[in-house]
Amino acid sequence: MALARLLLARHNSVSHDILDTVTTRLLQDAARHADYVQQLGRDPNMVTRAVLYLNDTHAHPDLGSDTAWFQPMLECLLELAAPSLALSGAGAAFLRDVEEGVAQSIADNDA
């Protein structure tokens, strides 16, 4: 998995066992989320897209084999993309900020 390779990039010679272990942890977390997203009636491939987003934006070699950050970040992204909870007015107001940021990112990517 590209994400595991990126996380372990600082280690000159990473054993296949370590790479496999990190990859397995990430894949297991992603698979659990895919099932949940599908239960919400949404495309489970959204999880793959979210992982690719994390690979582009938040993963870096300083994290090494520590994958504790992955699950909560993935959950947050998926909650934004496939809401499962009702929000208060104050919580929903943040979605306007997210909407503006997403529009800017899309425009930057299209340029």
- pLDDT tens-digit profile of 28-42? 999 999 989 999 999
For residue 59, pLDDT beyond 90: no
39 lies in a domain? yes
Number of domains in the chain: 1
Integer Cα distance of 24 and 18 in angstroms = 10
Q: What is the SS3 assignment for 6? A: helix
pTM given for the model: 0.83
106 lies in a domain? no
60 lies in a domain? yes
Confidence band for 65, pLDDT divided at 50, 70 and 90:
confident
Cα–Cα distances (Å) from 109 to 28, 39, 57, in that order, read: 30, 31, 14
Please report where in the chains the tokens 């997210």 appear, as a residue: 98
- By residue range, what is the domain housing residue 13? 2-85
Query: Which burial class, exposed, middle or buried, applies to 59 when counting CB atoms under 10 A from its CB (0-12, 13-18, 19+)?
Result: buried
Q: Comparing C-alpha atoms, which of 12, 15, 9, 5 is closest to residue 61? A: 9
For residue 8, pLDDT beyond 80: no
